């Protein structure tokens, strides 16, 4: 149980294009999903917290107009990197937290490796 | 801001030796979680500690939460090559709040 999927697993795009990454909780409802980015050999840096049906809460320094987050249902959150540039190349990981009745832990997706040329 | 410090950054051990990684926070944590990330993989949840002074074991892994709920440790007894990876702690400062990850400790095991 507690499986989180992410799609795509990797993507290569040209500078200036937008990329959408999906995060799905497959066997539980996630009232909260988190989006992280991880640079090589570094820790996970929280970008934003996504709550179903409401606007995402962005961490300081994260441009909300560049990283659009939509949490339209209890099992799906999307991250759109708009007008991507080479410096946006990174490993993007989502995690999902079960609802209030569930354990207070996060289950991570397999990540999406974005390369912007 | 609220930070979770983790040491050491790297640890190289001979197979069979023990390994410990430590996490410290300047402020009291609501709970702390531990994750393992294999090279090229994603973080996998290992355990959550909630109570002051709590000790939990998973086979060769022992997790401790300090009495003041400001520090935690993960100890692996008699490491094996399958233990390689980066171990992260993640602390929550408020219930159901966001988690702040430590920088991770990367363990390599020489057979």
Weakest mean pLDDT among A16-25, A38-47, B28-37, B62-71? A38-47
Q: What is the pLDDT of residue B98?
A: 79
What does the block give as tokens for B11? 């640890």
- With tokens 């001979």, the residue in question is B14
Give contacts of A104 with chain B, Cβ < 8 Å: 31, 48, 92, 95-96
The overall average pLDDT reported for chain A is 90
What does the block give as tokens for A117? 């040329």
Read off the pLDDT band of A55 (50, 70, 90). confident
Q: Return the ∠ at Cα B66 (arms to B9 and B1), rounded to 5°.
A: 60
What digits encode the pLDDT tens for the residues A3-24?
899 999 999 999 999 999 999 9
Phi then psi for residue B99, to 5 deg, are -100, 140
Alpha-carbon span B32 to B6, nearest angstrom:
12
Give contacts of A103 with chain B, Cβ < 8 Å: 48
- The yes-or-no verdict on residue A103 having pLDDT over 80 is no
Among candidates A43, A97, A107 on the partner chain, residue whose Cβ is nearest the Cβ of B104 = A43
Give contacts of B99 with chain A, Cβ < 8 Å: 34, 46, 106
Q: What is the pLDDT of residue A100?
A: 60
- State whether A104 and B31 contact (CB < 8 Å): yes
A61 in contact with chain B, both atoms CB, cutoff 8 A: no
Q: What is the pLDDT of residue B96?
A: 59
Q: What is the pLDDT of residue A2?
A: 76
Interacting residues of A57 by C-beta distance below 8 A, sequence separation 6+: A48, A49, A50, A51
- The yes-or-no verdict on residue A101 having pLDDT over 70 is no
B7 in contact with chain A, both atoms CB, cutoff 8 A: no
What digits encode the pLDDT tens for the residues B91-107?
988 765 778 899 999 99
Selected residue of B42, B63, B100 to mutate for chain A interface (largest A Cβ count, 10 A):
B42
- The yes-or-no verdict on residue B16 having pLDDT over 70 is yes
Give B75→chain A minimum CA distance, Å. Answer: 20
């Amino acid at each position: 149980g507690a499986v989180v999927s992410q799609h795509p697993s990797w993507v290569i795009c040209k500078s200036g294009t937008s990329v959408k990454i999906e995060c799905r909780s497959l066997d539980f409802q996630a009232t909260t999903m988190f989006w992280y980015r991880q640079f090589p050999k570094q820790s996970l840096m929280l970008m934003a917290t996504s709550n179903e049906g409401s606007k995402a809460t962005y961490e300081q320094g994260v441009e909300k107009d560049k990283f659009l987050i939509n949490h339209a249902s209890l099992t799906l959150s999307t991250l759109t990197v708009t007008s991507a540039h080479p410096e946006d190349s990174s490993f993007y990981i989502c995690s999902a937290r079960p609802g209030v009745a569930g354990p207070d832990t996060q289950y991570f997706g397999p990540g999406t490796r974005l390369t912007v040329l | 801001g609220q930070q979770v410090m983790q040491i050491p950054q790297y640890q190289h051990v001979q197979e069979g030796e023990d390994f410990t990684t430590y996490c410290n926070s300047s402020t009291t944590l609501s709970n702390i979680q531990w994750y393992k990330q294999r090279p090229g993989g994603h973080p996998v949840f290992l355990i959550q500690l909630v109570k002051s002074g709590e000790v939990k074991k998973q086979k060769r892994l022992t997790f401790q939460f300090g009495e003041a709920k400001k520090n935690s440790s993960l100890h692996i007894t008699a490491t094996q090559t399958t233990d390689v990876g980066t171990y992260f702690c993640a602390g929550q400062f408020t219930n159901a709040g966001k988690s702040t990850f430590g920088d991770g400790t990367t363990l390599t095991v020489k057979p």
